Amino acid sequence: MDSAKILFDKITLDYIKAEMLGKQFENNILECKQKDSPENGNIEMGDKAKFAKCLSGFANTGGGVVVFGLDARKQDGIDEITAIAPISELKKFESDLREIESRVVERNIQGVEYKRLETESEKGLLAVYIPQSLTPPHRSLVDRHFYIRAGGTFQPLDLPLIEDLFHRRRRPALSFLTRNVGDGRIWIYLKNTGEGTARNPYLVFELPGGLELSNFELDGNTKQTSCVLMTSFKEFRGYCVAFKAGFSTPVHPQAEVPIAELRLAGHISNDQTCMVKYQIYADDMEPVEGEFSMLVKGW
C-alpha cells in the first residue's frame, strides 16, 4: 500500500485535530485547500482549478491526498494548518467533484476515492485520495498545464519531463499463471498484460503439499538451475520456490513465459485445488503479491 493511501485511510476529524491542526507540513503527499465559498456546496471556478491541479500533479507523481476545508498558511516559508474551514452542503460538494473529475483532467485517473469528514450535519471536510497513475501524463483541462508534485508544491512540467512521463506509460504488469500439462505435471508461467517489457523478473511462490519442483528445466533434459527451493520467505509458510533466472528471461507485452515445472510427489485419484501465495518483482513495476487458486489434476 502506498504512503498516500495509508494517510487517506488514517484521516478522520479526530486525526486532523490531533495530528495536523496547528502543525507545519511540507511533503509531497498532502495538500490542504479551502473551498472558495464554504457556505454552500457549489463548485466555483477556483475550486475546479484547484481540483484539476491536484489530480494532475498527484497522478503524474507518486499519488497524494487533498483535504478540502482546511486553512493552510505559510509560516517561516512552510505551510501550517491553521484552522478548520468546514464546507456546507458537503454531500453536494462531494457529488459535484465526482461528476467533474473526468472532465477537469485529460485522461481518466483510476482509483480516486472520497471521504466525508462531518463536523456537524451536512457540514465538514472532504478528503480525496488520488493514486499514482499507470497511464500518465495527465493535464489540467482548466489551465492546460501538466503538473508534478515536488517540494510540497505543484509545479508545471517542461517538455523533457512530459516526454519522460509518456515513456513511463509503457510499464509491465506481471501475473501468476499455472497449467496442467499431463502426467501429474504443472507448468508455472509469468504473464505480462502491461505495455512495457518486464525485465529481471523475480517470482517467489509457496510450494503446495504433495507437489515438488522438477529436477529438470522445461526441456526435460537440462538440470534445473533456474529455480531454487527455499525453506522460508517473508511471511510464507513451509517450502517455497524462487525463480532466479530473470536476468535472462524478459517477458514481453502480452507474452506468457513458462518458467518452472512442478510434479506430483505421488499419485492422487481426484482433482484438488490449492491456494498458492506468490510475490512478483520486476524492473519498472510495483511489486505484486496475491493468492492463486491452483488446480491439481488427479493422475
Q: CATH number of the domain that 47 lies in?
A: 3.30.950
* Average pLDDT over every residue of 203-216: 88
Q: Which helix (H) or strand (E) holds 234?
A: none
My answer on whether 158 and 180 are in the same domain is no
* Average pLDDT over every residue of 41-64: 96
pLDDT of residue 1: 61
Angle between helices 45-60 and 90-100 (to 10 degrees): 60
Return the CATH number at 260. Answer: 2.60.40.10
Domain membership of residue 25 as a residue range: 3-168
My answer on whether 164 and 180 are in the same domain is no
Domain boundary among 168, 188, 217: 168
In percent, how much of the chain has pLDDT > 90?
A: 51
Q: Which of 221, 219, 225 is nearest to 245 (CA)?
A: 225
What is the C-alpha separation between 171 and 175, in angstroms, rounded? 13
Q: How many domains does the chain have?
A: 2
Domain boundary among 168, 200, 220: 168
Whether residue 147 contacts residue 157, with contact meaning beta carbons closer than 8 Å, is answered with yes
My answer on whether 179 and 162 are in the same domain is no
My answer on whether 20 and 164 are in the same domain is yes
My answer on whether 144 and 181 are in the same domain is no
DSSP alpha helix (H) spans, 61-152: 90-100
* Average pLDDT over every residue of 156-181: 80
74-90 confidence digits (pLDDT tens):
777 778 899 999 999 99
pLDDT of residue 151: 84
My answer on whether 149 and 192 are in the same domain is no
Q: Which of 246, 241, 179, 180 is nearest to 206 (CA)?
A: 241
100-150 confidence digits (pLDDT tens):
999 999 999 999 999 999 999 999 999 999 999 878 889 999 999 999 998
Domain boundary among 121, 150, 168: 168
My answer on whether 222 and 125 are in the same domain is no
pLDDT of residue 89: 98
pLDDT of residue 169: 62
pLDDT of residue 76: 74
In the predicted structure, residue 40 carries a pLDDT above the cut 90:
yes
My answer on whether 119 and 185 are in the same domain is no
Return the minimum-mean-pLDDT range out of 159-163, 192-196, 229-233.
159-163
In the predicted structure, residue 205 carries a pLDDT above the cut 80:
yes
Indicate the average pLDDT of the chain: 89
pLDDT bracket for residue 73 (50, 70, 90): confident
My answer on whether 159 and 223 are in the same domain is no
Q: What is the DSSP secondary-structure string of 163-214?
A: HHHHHHT----EEEEEEEEETTEEEEEEEE-SSS-B-S-EEEEE--TTEEE-
In the predicted structure, residue 33 carries a pLDDT above the cut 90:
yes
My answer on whether 156 and 186 are in the same domain is no
More confident residue, 161 or 131: 131
pLDDT bracket for residue 168 (50, 70, 90): low
225-276 confidence digits (pLDDT tens):
899 888 888 877 788 999 988 788 899 999 999 998 998 887 666 788 888 8
Q: E strands of 28-122, at which residues?
A: 30-33, 64-68, 70-75, 78-84, 87-88, 113-120
Is the Cα torsion angle 263, 267, 271, 275 positive or negative in sign? negative
pLDDT of residue 155: 92
My answer on whether 236 and 136 are in the same domain is no
pLDDT of residue 167: 65
Pairing of strands 147-150, 211-213: unpaired
My answer on whether 65 and 192 are in the same domain is no
Q: Which of 281, 61, 254 is nearest to 168 (CA)?
A: 61
